[in-house]
Structure 1
Amino acid sequence: LFKVARHLFINSSEVFSTMFSLPQGNNVGVMDRSDDEHPLVLQEVQSTDFENVLMALVKSYCRTTPILSKDAWISVLKLASMWGMHGARRLAIRELTKLKMSDADRVVYGKEYAVVDWVISGYRNLGRRRNGITSEDVSRL
């Protein structure tokens, strides 16, 4: 169970901003998920992915960039894309672009998360290889 300042999500996410701006009705604690007995359950979200996006949001709020692994940045990109967190998404794309990713990974992640530059550069580099595409690349694509 995570206890997070609501404003962090309202200010950085279209999805959460909309969700928390909806009329509450009579059961405020139940409707707005503001108490321990009625937490907001995020289906299909792994706790490590949530921790990574929290790290990115908090560090961005403090105007610093967290040092995360490639997999952690991918999880930030995944949730930021899903939840309309444009700032966190841009940050994840920027940081992942700096990291070494295979050409096949660029294509796969670029398609999955709508990062056109990655798709283009990945395919371009795959097509320019002197030794051709490996069987590992083929299985990834």
Structure 2
Amino acid sequence: MSAAEVKKGNANQGVGFGEAAEPSQKQFDYEKDELFYCTPLVIFRVEDRLFRIPQELLETHSEVFRTMFTLPTGQDGGDSGEGRSESKPLYLEGVKKTDFRNFLQVLTALNYEDITPGKTRGKTYLMMSRFPLYHDLNTDDWIAVLRLATMWNFDNVRSKAMRVLEEDTSIYLLDRLKLAYDLDITSSSWLLPIYRNLVKREVPVTQKEAPWLSDDFIKKITRLREERLKSLLVSLLSEDVPKPTCYKCKNRLYRPASKDLVLSGGAPRWDMFCKSCNMLIGLDEAIHGSPALEKEEKNFENDLDQLIDLFLPTSKND
């Protein structure tokens, strides 16, 4: 069928692109389809790069952008306002172009993941639009995505970034806690592993190590550490629990005299002492050398989580 025939249409089939009648004043009041009447493209400038993306992609998921798009875009309005042409892009101040690009990759890919669950493995592009997915994003990229999602209230992108970063073991413990402070992260899945590690690690956390921590937080962590150590020491002194042994000579370990305790940050290290090897062995290392003490430690894990929840409450969902 020729282009002319397509335009003319087939009266029998009722299909074609015939000439529309000259609209009268009344005909301008058309109904807009709720699904297929798309919002226009909007142009942003981020540093020295332009981005041209569907307005709907942003306003659907963010109250911040929904509000922004309702504001006047210029004296002329319409297609001549800000964000409608390359000469008048909307400028995103304080945002890096690579961070914004990575943010858009995650945002555009989330809908694809929702539509095709379990089928994204091995794919690197959206087949229709050629939007790249986010398989190559590193830790710093995901942190930047999380910051932008938080700043602009994109809950779906924020949740995705948090899930990825929760599984990233390369992030230092206190860096992870600092992110929670900066970005108002309160979920137990993010915070509870951090609190457990701070309570169980050999050296107590101090404000010198993390100046942004409050005195109140450090006091609570210190109290939780004391509760854990008390529980372990009670087990060590119990006649029912076999004493830990040295991993080198297999002889019994003893608690050193108070004067021999090694001080660190003003707090004692709760070490065990091997008389045969004449050396100190960390309490956690000693626990792992005693199956009975390991069992006691695991039994205390549930109590520890309850204590953490009492001292440092978290939420089930962020």
User: Structure 2-normalised TM-score?
Assistant: 0.40
Q: What residue is the counterpart of 1:91 in the other structure? A: 160
Please state if 1:78 is matched with 2:147. Answer: yes
Find the aligned partners of 1:137 and 1:50 in 2 and give their Cα distance. Answer: 32
Q: TM-score, normalised by structure 1?
A: 0.84
From the superposition, tell whether residues 43 and 30 of structure 1 become closer, same or farther in structure 2 (CA, over 3 Å). farther
Q: For the residues of structure 2 that align with 1:8 and 1:86, how far apart are their CA atoms?
A: 14
Q: Pairwise mapping of residues 96-135 of structure 1 onto structure 2 (< 5 A)?
A: 96-100=165-169, 101-116=171-186, 117=188, 118-133=190-205
Query: SS in structure 2 opposite 1:94?
Result: helix
Q: Which moved more, 1:70-79 or 1:128-137?
A: 128-137
Identify which range, 70-79 or 19-28, moves more after superposition. Answer: 19-28
The question of whether the paired residues in 2 share the 8 Å contact of 1:103 and 1:121 is answered with no
How many angstroms does 1:137 deviate by?
4.6
Structure 2 counterpart SS, 1:76: helix
2:64 pairs with 1:15: yes
Larger Rg: 2
**In 1: Cα distance, 2:138 partner to 2:112 partner:** 20
Deviations 1:28-66 (A, max 9, x none): 245451111110100101111101101101111211573
| Distance in structure 2 (CA, Å) of the matches to 1:133 and 1:79 | 29
Q: Take 1:137 and 1:102, find their aligned partners in 2: how far apart are those partners?
A: 12
Give the structure with the larger helix fraction. Answer: 1
Structure with the largest fraction of strand: 2
Candidates 134, 153, 162, aligned match of 1:66: 134
- In structure 1, stretches of 5+ residues that fail to align are none
Please give the alpha-carbon distance, in whole angstroms, between the structure 2 residues aligned to 1:71 and 1:135. Answer: 25
Verify the 8 A CA contact 1:55 1:66 in the aligned structure 2: yes
Alpha-carbon distance in structure 1 between the residues aligned to 2:97 and 2:147: 13
Q: Could you tell me which of 38, 48, 55 is aligned with 2:88?
A: 38
Match of 1:48 among 88, 95, 98: 98
Gaps of 5+ in 2: 1-49, 114-119, 121-132, 214-318
- Displacement of 1:140: 7.8
Letter of the 2:77 counterpart: N
SS at match of 2:92: coil
